[in-house]
Amino acid sequence: MEKLAVLDALAGLAQETRLDIYRLLVPAGAAGLAAGRIAQALGLPAATLSFHLAHLRQAGLVGLRREGRSLIYAADYAAMNGLIAFLAENCCGRPACAPACDPLPASESRMRTPYNVLFLCTGNSARSILAESLLNHLGGGRFRAFSAGSFPSGAVRPEALALLREQGLPTEGLRSKSWNEFAAPGAPEMDFVFTVCDQAAGETCPLWPGHPVTAHWGIPDPAGATGSQAVVMLGFRAAARALETRIRLFLALPVETLDPLALRRETARIGQSRVGEQA
């Protein structure tokens, strides 16, 4: 990164509101955040937000794209890494200096286990429930799974519970609940948040404490199957197989050694796989 670009970047961040905006965008990943959500999170008027975002874009720290009627802003990670690399160029390698040499240090949440994982869907009655039980069973104590919904149905689908019992998976404590429970003060801090239905992925989620790694693992809704009970259960079994495949891929990741950007990339890649989604 050239010195003039470094000076522009540092000048762009040398203001409290712009620094707050940038720190909010960094953990949002390549998906970024809509302008309205940034304004809501930081309590900023639209005109003020627009002024500061323009400064960050001019400094080369933030990119902009349009999705439908929304303006989406995202941190430019190449610029961020270039800035950090420039500042650490003459790092001596001594212990006191070493943290500055790591362009993307693992967050403090990566240091604790078990890792908390939240699965989200709209009703929190089928897919997210299956994922919660599967990860708690397969995670071997290394991961602790939860689930919630944007508009919870209030009841877990009996087919989901029947399938879990049939496979000897845990059902104790499973319930349909709102995702707001996990954004409230005192809630368990999440390390990972995965959406398992397309509708929930398109909704504006709460701002999770701790800036967890997020990814979309869309699975066809087994609750939408029609026909005999046997046909409906085939849909639930297909969803469970797809979730198990992705969860096993996730469990194989070296979570302890990957930086947050790498974790976002790898968990997003898992969500793009189509393995096991056919009945």
Catalytic residue numbers read 121, 197, 205
Q: Which H or E run includes 73? A: strand 70-75
**Alpha carbon 160 to its chain's center:** 24
Q: Which of 210, 178, 207 has its CA nearest to residue 41?
A: 207
Please say whether the beta carbons of 133 and 170 come within 8 A.
yes
* 213-216 vs 192-195, strand pairing mode: parallel
CB neighbours of residue 163 within 10 Å: 22
- The answer to whether residues 149 and 122 touch, using CB atoms and an 8 Å cutoff, is yes
**Peptide linkage before 114 cis (omega within 30 of 0):** yes
